[in-house]
Amino acid sequence: MRLGSADNTNSVVVFELYQNYPNPVIGKTTISFILPKDHEDAEIKIYNIKGQLVKELGFNEADVEFNAVWDCTNNHNKPVSNGIYFYKVISGEYSALKKMIIMK
């Protein structure tokens, strides 16, 4: 989501979720996002193709740019299986969802 004038000059990023890299994932992946300066604590939730929660990562830093590394493990630190996963970043009223593929 971006705010700014109609012609997009001087636009200000208030929330941006980027595609993870590498994708497809082999071993670990980086999830990057930008939050507004006055953001609340953020979290990343990772879901399997069935919509089941696999992993939660939380952030309470003062930064606005984040690079989270996920090692393809679940909340019990067990490796996840190959397949399609979704990651969702949530911070207050802001949220976004993207897809990734795990291949080992």
Task: Give residue-wise pLDDT tens across range 51-74.
Answer: 999 999 887 665 678 889 999 999
**Under 8 Å CB-to-CB from 9, ≥6 apart: which residues?**
none
Going by the DSSP 8-state scheme, the letter that residue 73 receives in this structure is: B
**Under 8 Å CB-to-CB from 6, ≥6 apart: which residues?**
none
Give me the long-range contacts of 72-80 (CB less than 8 A, separation at least 24): 72/25, 72/27, 72/28, 72/29, 72/102, 72/104, 79/104, 80/48, 80/54, 80/55
Res. 2: pLDDT tops 60:
no
Q: What is the mean pLDDT of residues 21-27?
A: 95
Query: Measured at the alpha carbon of residue 44, what is the angle toward residues 47 and 39, in degrees to the nearest 5?
Result: 150
Res. 80: pLDDT tops 50:
yes
Write out the CATH class of domain 2-102. mainly beta
Q: Among 37-41, 63-67, 92-96, 99-103, which range has the highest average pLDDT?
A: 99-103
Per-residue pLDDT at 18 = 95
pTM: 0.81
Per-residue pLDDT at 5 = 32
